[in-house]
Structure 1
Amino acid sequence: METFGRIVREHWEPWQDRLPLHFCSLMTLVCFIALWFRTPWACAVAYFGVLTASVQGLITPMLHDGFPSTAFFAFFVGHGLLLISALYLPAVLQWRARPWDDMRALGLCDAYLVLIIPVNIWLDTNYGFTRYAPAGTVLEYFGSAPWYLLTLQIPALVLLRLLYLTVRVRKK
């Protein structure tokens, strides 16, 4: 939808920048799998991945077109639906995290970062923000790229553990 909005507005970008390789694009696919098939791994990755990383897009959006463009609305609708999907899993579907689901989700998210680095070098892109931090984002407070990907692990671990406490399987 965002791409369509840019085409209508004639805001052309190189094809390399329009591939569905952003972390939030991956989370869209994972949320679909979690909601449709309800597989435990997908539910965990959707919940923890969206609430720790994709929500940052809502807090500090990286937008090329401002209000009231189609791309603006598509960005917020898309990221908002990710948040709703992640919260829907425990609130409505009663999904509960198994022990260490948060750490497995972090491992899968880190695997995305490791795999996207050579793609970014090859295509001269910045998917997953592995090459530089966009201005005005929380990544600017964690050092220079790519080192902030390492320093970000500590607050991510703390946040994931806190999120885990809210959705863990409770002993009777």
Structure 2
Amino acid sequence: MSENNESAFVMFSLPHFAAIGLLIFAIILLYSFKRKVHVTILGGQRIERVFAISLLMMELYFHMSYMWVGRWAISYSLPLELCSFSLIVAITLLWTGNRHLVDFVFYAGIGGAIQAFLTPVIDFGYPHFRYFHFFYVHGGIILTALYFYRMKGYRPTFKGIIKTMVTLNGLLPVIFAINWIVNGNYMFLQQKPSGGSLLDYLGPYPWYILSLEAVAFTMFLGLWLVFKGKRRE
């Protein structure tokens, strides 16, 4: 990662719209494949594991590169954000095919990654490596969830929403404790991010945390309503 490649990220700039456009293109490409093509040509488990490795390598390189230039710190660099959890679960899901993991990736993963795509909280923009890392891993989470829906026949359930909400609320006290120990702001539980985000519309601290619970449930419910009745080829 070059120190000369540092440029501030600008929301709703051309690089931002380019990232969104590439994600939409990838989703269209995913949906253009028939399920039988996935089995006979794409190699099934092979491509799932290659994609899992690419996501893992991108994440590991991000942490190593930030350590190398002295930008990594325990107070803000640990993989303890919602999308960090979703990424870990998505990689595990792709590698193992464990269907018990699909609910979390589908609901928390898509919900969090879409919000991240629309209102990114990143320190550097194009052409810095952080730009490519941010949009690749967040796009990878969304594509993993849609892949298991489109190619593997996963059917979202309302029970999956409840399981995901329970899991997320189980993580909150742990993240609160870690934030207190390392003086961090993981999952934005201590304060809102600077630079603008969805949280700006959800009230002051700490009430925006409760508002975010309602937003998350509403978003998960919307995903369930959109995808539960769709027929797949």
Name the TM-score, length of structure 1 as normaliser: 0.87
- Please tell me whether the aligned partners of residues 98 and 169 of structure 1 are also in contact (alpha carbons under 8 angstroms): no
Shift of the alpha carbon at 1:101?
0.8
Q: Which residues of structure 2 form unaligned runs of 5+? A: 1-60
Question: 1:62 corresponds to which residue?
Answer: 121
**Cα shift readout 1:11-45 (whole Å, capped 9, x = no counterpart):** 52423322222221211111123233333331001
In 1: Cα distance, 2:143 partner to 2:62 partner? 19
Q: Which one is further off, 157-166 or 119-128?
A: 157-166
1:49 pairs with one of 95, 100, 108: 108
1:75 pairs with one of 118, 134, 152: 134
In 1: Cα distance, 2:75 partner to 2:216 partner? 29
In 2: Cα distance, 1:20 partner to 1:160 partner? 23
In 2: Cα distance, 1:70 partner to 1:33 partner? 24
Bigger Rg over Cα: 2
Question: 1:105 corresponds to which residue?
Answer: 164
- Please tell me whether the aligned partners of residues 103 and 160 of structure 1 are also in contact (alpha carbons under 8 angstroms): no
In 2: Cα distance, 1:62 partner to 1:18 partner? 13
Name the TM-score, length of structure 2 as normaliser: 0.66
Where 2:71 maps in the other structure, the secondary structure is coil
1:85 pairs with one of 140, 144, 160: 144
- Please tell me whether the aligned partners of residues 74 and 182 of structure 2 are also in contact (alpha carbons under 8 angstroms): no
**Cα shift readout 1:110-137 (whole Å, capped 9, x = no counterpart):** 2222320111011001111101111311
1:151 pairs with one of 195, 211, 217: 211
In 1: Cα distance, 2:198 partner to 2:222 partner? 19
Shift of the alpha carbon at 1:169?
7.1
Q: Partner amino acid for 2:125? A: G
Identity among equivalent positions (%) equals: 24
**RMSD value, Cα:** 2.0
Q: 1:11 to 1:69 in 2, by over 3 A?
A: farther
Shift of the alpha carbon at 1:49?
0.5
Report the count of equivalent residues: 169
In 2: Cα distance, 1:36 partner to 1:12 partner? 30
Q: Partner amino acid for 1:121? A: W
Shift of the alpha carbon at 1:151?
1.3
In 2: Cα distance, 1:4 partner to 1:63 partner? 17
Where 1:114 maps in the other structure, the secondary structure is helix
